[in-house]
Structure 1
Amino acid sequence: MQAIKEKLKKLRLSGALAVLESHNQLALAEQLSYLEFLDLLLENEQAHRQASSYQRRLKSSKLSAQKRLDNYDFDYQPQLPRKQIRQLASAQFIAQGVNVILMGKPGVGKTHLANAIGLEALKHNYTVRFTHAHQLINQLHTARADGAYRNLMNRLLKTDLLIIDELGFRKLPPQGVDDFFEIIRQRYEQKSIIITSNTTFEDWGQILGDPVLASAIIDRLLHHAQVFKITGESYRIKNFKRE
């Protein structure tokens, strides 16, 4: 038994190693064949690797594990098409390179919904990156100064699903607008983006400080996109009234 454990360690089969003794006892008690015993070990190894992969991708995604679809209050936002939203949980839109735009006033649940869709994407083995719009621009600005711009941009472009939250809360600086356009341009028809915004498309020209560039960004985003406009009351105001 010890020799087998050492081999499993060297092969880095920690999932199989963790259940070797218990599954050996089960195999003896149930009179399982060698192949059935091996299948049990490999099944546990596979499950262990999937769980480890999910946790690694969750950590690097910067998503909140608490903002899920199962605790999103659809009853408070009845105008949202539940069936369409839940279809996004299948992550098929990512395979198709479709974007998702969530628009509405502050506090209506855009961030929660974007985060929840991101968590579902992780379950389907996709990579996800969640970031606030200004945080993203600041990171790119710092990376440019440190000589790490291309490395960061490559990571942004390779991520299966990029979630950009709170676009429109503050005006972006000129260099930031160029960076934002570059991300949209290079991900166009290749990788999916989820954007949450508290402003309408008509206001993006002012937010981005360049109506022509804003038009080019919107054109690429909407070519393959699902747009959801959330018009309900703020969850924060609802909770304040309860108090």
Structure 2
Amino acid sequence: MNDSLMIRLRDLKLSGIIKTLDVRNEEALKSNLSYMEFFELLINDEVLNRQNNSNIKRTSKAKFPQHKTLEEYNFNYQPNINKRFIYNLATCEFVRKKENVAFIGPPGTGKTHLAISIGLKAVAQGYKVLFTTVNEMLEELYISRADNSFHQKLRYYTAPDLLILDELGLKKLNQNSVDDFYEIISRRYENGSIIITSNKVFEEWARIFYDPVLATAILDRFVHHCHFVVIKGESYRMKQREGVIKAMSEESLSKDK
């Protein structure tokens, strides 16, 4: 290809066209494409490349601890979950409506997996997502008060279209933590969606918060537009571990024979 053309394409930041130009030119010659057909192919390549780059950037900024897709989730192991309802959540209509979701169940039942997988669906649809644990967020907010970056941190947690808060109830919150948690919930109320995962049944959530008045205010705002998914199954991780131990025992016995 003409070097000056490539330089101009780089100056215009048309990296999608640069990647496919040689292939598309060969295709155009072999298929006798018109100028407009050739041009349309190049424009589509550029659009697709920008979408992919944007998706990669949003995924990176989301801070997912793992890449867990909905297709990988074992619904057969948790038959009490309404699969259709989960896939309806994965359309991210709740994000558009600025509603909330709560995944509640014992440890190891896939709450975080589902939260991440729906977060990935939201990223793919162009939404800004942020994943964090409740304790990590509150620790960051607490530290930010010392260097006067508190309001900047508040914006960090309130700006995304979807905020995923993992492990609510792992630790009981103190007064400062509850104050900060209330700030996040109240600022996001009807302005942005939240997914919360918790191993505490909803009736126990009020006990997590130090201040009963703030607890009521927090729960009232979060629950107002909320979809609850309660998982009552056994721990998938424990089941996997039992399977590994059983397999090792059987292997050991066969070697002894």
Q: Which band: TM-score by shorter chain?
A: over 0.9
Question: Which residue does 2:113 correspond to in 1?
Answer: 112
Matched, 1:192 2:193: yes
Structure 2 gap ranges (5+):
245-257
How far apart, in 1, do the equivalents of 2:164 and 2:224 lie?
18
- How far has the Cα of 1:162 moved from its partner? 0.1
Question: Which residue does 1:2 correspond to in 2?
Answer: 3
- How far has the Cα of 1:140 moved from its partner? 0.9
How far apart, in 1, do the equivalents of 2:16 and 2:194 lie?
34
How far apart, in 2, do the equivalents of 1:6 and 1:114 lie?
44
Question: Which residue does 2:35 correspond to in 1?
Answer: 34
The correspondence of residues 85-234 of structure 1 with structure 2, limited to 5 A, is: 85-234=86-235
Q: SS in structure 2 opposite 1:145?
A: coil
Change (3 A) 1:113 1:158: same
| Structure label with greater radius of gyration | 2
Number of matched pairs: 243
Could you list the per-position Cα deviations for residues 202-229 of structure 1 after superposition, in whole angstroms to 9, with x for gaps in the alignment? 3223211112211111111111110011
Q: How large is the Cα RMSD of the aligned pairs? A: 1.1
How far apart, in 2, do the equivalents of 1:84 and 1:204 lie?
24
**Normalised TM-score (structure 2):** 0.91
- How far has the Cα of 1:116 moved from its partner? 0.6
Matched, 1:48 2:32: no
How far apart, in 2, do the equivalents of 1:25 and 1:223 lie?
58
Runs of 4+ residues over 6 Å off in structure 1: none
Change (3 A) 1:204 1:210: farther
Contact 2:95 2:162 in 1 (8 A): yes
How far apart, in 1, do the equivalents of 2:26 and 2:241 lie?
57
Please tell me the residue identity of whatever aligns with 1:183.
I
**Normalised TM-score (structure 1):** 0.97
How far apart, in 2, do the equivalents of 1:17 and 1:172 lie?
53
Greater mean alpha carbon deviation, residues 191-200 or residues 207-216: 207-216
How far apart, in 2, do the equivalents of 1:79 and 1:214 lie?
29
Contact 2:172 2:210 in 1 (8 A): yes
Q: SS in structure 2 opposite 1:84?
A: helix
Greater mean alpha carbon deviation, residues 94-103 or residues 200-209: 200-209
Q: SS in structure 2 opposite 1:73?
A: coil
Change (3 A) 1:65 1:201: closer
Q: SS in structure 1 opposite 2:131?
A: strand
Identical positions, percent: 43
How far apart, in 2, do the equivalents of 1:83 and 1:14 lie?
40
Question: Which residue does 2:19 correspond to in 1?
Answer: 18
How far apart, in 1, do the equivalents of 2:212 and 2:107 lie?
24
Contact 1:201 1:218 in 2 (8 A): no
Greater mean alpha carbon deviation, residues 126-135 or residues 151-160: 151-160
Please tell me the residue identity of whatever aligns with 2:89.
L
Contact 2:144 2:150 in 1 (8 A): yes
Question: Which residue does 1:79 correspond to in 2?
Answer: 80
Q: SS in structure 1 opposite 2:132?
A: strand
How far apart, in 1, do the equivalents of 2:210 and 2:202 lie?
13
Greater mean alpha carbon deviation, residues 47-56 or residues 143-152: 143-152
Please tell me the residue identity of whatever aligns with 1:170.
K
